[in-house]
């Protein structure tokens, strides 16, 4: 029987975004010092591990292409992420990044690729590498691209709304409907647990509660 997995976006799902007061912007972390796990992420990943599901990070990371950080800084952030999760008892089985961007300042990464979400290239690569059944797997993300990538391969999609309610409006405008809407990765793990236990009604009630309380 093929393995199954949970594909996690990184920024906004696993780690916090960073406020840059000098620019007045909020963006992905650019170095290991700025990288920190969101509350409850370690416990959520432990829960997914206990369900017998592989856990993969699949994330667009165009910061190198845009000249915001280096390859070594991305490696340092990845190592810190894995270490922090492991400290809480969790395990990430593999990490897949898309480093490309059509408007990259570095020619090496200036590419309209198949791996950048909403295209499903990273998910399909993991499926080949690990011999997985993506149609019986899960995709968790906080962006439209995450949901579209998951839908394109037939995975169950969980959208983390957090406090980014404007994204919900964009989902509606783009006719994108995730299977479940939750507040954070911990609640995503709870919904996955219900589904894995054959309790779809409980999962739907739980997700409905999340949608109501996240407004």
Beta strands in 44-105 (DSSP E): 54-60, 94-98
What's the CA gap between 161 and 191, in Å, rounded? 14
Least confident of 74-78, 205-209, 211-215: 211-215
Provide the number of structural domains found in the chain.
Answer: 1
165-173 helix and 144-152 helix, angle to the nearest 10 degrees:
50
Residues whose CB falls within 8 Å of the CB of residue 101, separated by 6 or more in sequence, listed in order: 62, 65, 66, 109, 110, 111, 116
Catalytic one of 11, 146, 184, 190: 11
Residue 38: the pLDDT is 95
9 is catalytic: yes
pLDDT tens-digit series, residues 132-174: 999 999 999 999 999 999 999 999 999 998 655 556 666 777 7
What range does the domain containing 62 cover? 5-213
Average model confidence (pLDDT) across the chain: 90
Least confident of 39-48, 75-84, 101-110, 170-179: 170-179
With contact defined as beta carbons under 8 Å apart, do 145 and 125 qualify?
no
142 is catalytic: no
Phi and psi at residue 159, in whole multiples of 5°? -100, 125
Of the ranges 14-23, 34-43, 204-213, the best mean pLDDT one? 34-43
Helix (H) or strand (E) holding 208: helix 200-213
CA-CA-CA-CA dihedral for 104, 146, 5, 132, to nearest 10: -70
Three-state SS string over 81-98 comes to HHHHHHHCCCCCCEEEEE
What CATH number is associated with residue 177? 3.40.50.1000
Confidence at 46, pLDDT banded by 50, 70, 90: very high
Confidence at 84, pLDDT banded by 50, 70, 90: very high
Residue 164: the pLDDT is 53
What's the CA gap between 198 and 186, in Å, rounded? 19
With contact defined as beta carbons under 8 Å apart, do 116 and 84 qualify?
no
Confidence at 215, pLDDT banded by 50, 70, 90: very low
Residue 181: the pLDDT is 86
Catalytic one of 9, 146, 184, 190: 9
What's the CA gap between 145 and 151, in Å, rounded? 10
Mean predicted confidence (pLDDT) in 60-69: 90
Least confident of 64-68, 97-101, 207-211: 207-211
Residue 166: the pLDDT is 57
With contact defined as beta carbons under 8 Å apart, do 17 and 11 qualify?
yes
With contact defined as beta carbons under 8 Å apart, do 12 and 162 qualify?
yes
**DSSP reduced 3-state for 4:** coil
Strand-pairing partners, residue 157, are 139
Mean predicted confidence (pLDDT) in 55-62: 96
Mean predicted confidence (pLDDT) in 106-114: 89
């Amino acid at each position: 029987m093929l393995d199954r997995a949970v594909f996690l976006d990184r920024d906004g799902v696993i780690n916090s975004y960073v406020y840059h007061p000098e620019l007045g912007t909020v963006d992905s972390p650019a170095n290991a010092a700025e990288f920190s796990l969101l509350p409850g992420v370690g416990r959520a990943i432990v829960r997914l591990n206990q369900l017998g599901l592989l856990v993969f990070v699949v994330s667009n990371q165009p910061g190198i292409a845009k000249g915001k950080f280096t390859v070594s800084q991305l490696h340092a952030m990845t190592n810190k992420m894995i270490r922090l999760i492991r400290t809480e008892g969790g395990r990430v089985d593999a990490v897949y990044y898309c480093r490309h961007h059509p408007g990259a300042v570095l020619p090496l990464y200036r590419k309209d690729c198949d791996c950048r979400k909403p295209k499903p290239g990273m998910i399909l690569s993991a499926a080949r590498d690990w011999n997985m059944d993506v149609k019986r797997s899960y995709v968790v993300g906080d962006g439209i691209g995450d949901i579209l990538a998951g839908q394109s391969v037939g995975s169950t999609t969980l959208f983390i709304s957090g406090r980014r309610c404007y994204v919900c409006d964009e989902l509606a405008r783009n006719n994108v409907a995730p299977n479940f809407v939750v507040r954070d990765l911990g609640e995503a793990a709870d919904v996955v647990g219900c589904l894995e236990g054959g309790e779809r009604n409980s999962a739907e009630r739980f997700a409905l509660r999340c949608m109501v309380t996240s407004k």
